[in-house]
Amino acid sequence: MIRLLVVDDHAAVRAGLFSLLRREPGLVPLGAVSTVAEALREARSLEPDVALIDFQLPDGDGLQLCRDLKLLPRPPRVVLYSAFARPALAVAAKLAGADGLIDKGVEVDSLFDSIRAVGRGEEVLPPLDPEMISRCTARLEPSDVSIFGMLMAGTSTADAAGVLGSEQREIEDRLRAMLGDLLAESSTPG
């Protein structure tokens, strides 16, 4: 049995997802909320196994929420369920420590399969193109590149802080700044 928390700001998506999950054997939706703040509160009190979160949220984004959730005493596994089309989101999701990244266009059955896989402890992230990683690295502050490498290799922020001899808080801040840099647009018209 996998206990889930749904986070999506679109009411109809939230409702549709909730009722689908409720019908699916083995999956138990505990609640459905629409903001980062509510998600954190519910995650603290309900302690779900998996949080299924949208990328765009009214008071933040799914990646930042993912970091917040991962710092809870009993962190849930996190699946980003997103319609956000940027390929670099895969890199950002990996960096944020998400356990899954699922496109909103997929068949419902494959969404359920992915949730089960993440519930079992597997990682469901799209393959990362090496060229994309190097383009992404180029968007970071040069001083962040080594932290980026450690985190992408799966090192936790606590361990990275230990290796670099700095505070975990500091690494977390750098991580959040990097998430913004990764999805910044290099050719944004201005």
Partner 1 sequence: MRNRNGSGTSLRTRVFLVNGLVFLIAGTFLALTPVTVSLPTSLSDALVLTFGLGGTVLLNLLVIGRTFAPLSRLIEAMERFEPLSPDYRVPIYGNEREIVQLTRAFNDMLDRIESERRESVQRSLAAQERERQRIAQELHDEIGQSLTALLLQVEGLARSVPDEERDALAELSRATRDTLDQVRDVARRLRPEVLDDLGLGKAITALCERLGAQSGVDINCAVDAELPQLAPEAELVAYRVAQEALTNTLRHSGAEHAALVLERDGDDVLLTIADDGRGIGDDAQPGSGIQGMRERALLIGARLRIDPGEPSGTVVRLRLDGQPYGGRPRPHETLGYG
Interface with partner 1 by CB under 8 A: which residues?
10, 12-13, 15-17, 19-20, 23, 56, 83-88, 104-105, 108, 129, 131-132, 135-136, 185-190
**DSSP-based three-state secondary structure for 16:** helix
- d(CA 117, CA 49) in angstroms, rounded, equals 12
Q: Which is nearer to partner 1, 1 or 12 (CB)?
A: 12
Q: Which is nearer to partner 1, 106 or 158 (CB)?
A: 106
Strands 56-57, 60-61: pairing is: antiparallel
Q: Which is nearer to partner 1, 56 or 146 (CB)?
A: 56
- d(CA 179, CA 181) in angstroms, rounded, equals 6
**DSSP-based three-state secondary structure for 117:** helix
Q: Which is nearer to partner 1, 3 or 135 (CB)?
A: 135
Name residue 161's amino acid. A
H/E run at residue 152: helix 145-152
DSSP single-letter state for residue 27: E
Q: What is the DSSP string of 44-108?
A: HHH--SEEEE-SEETTEEHHHHHHHHHTSSSPPEEEEEE----TTHHHHHHHHT-SEEEETTS-H
Q: Which is nearer to partner 1, 10 or 41 (CB)?
A: 10
Minimum distance between the CB of residue 136 and partner 1, rounded to whole angstroms? 7
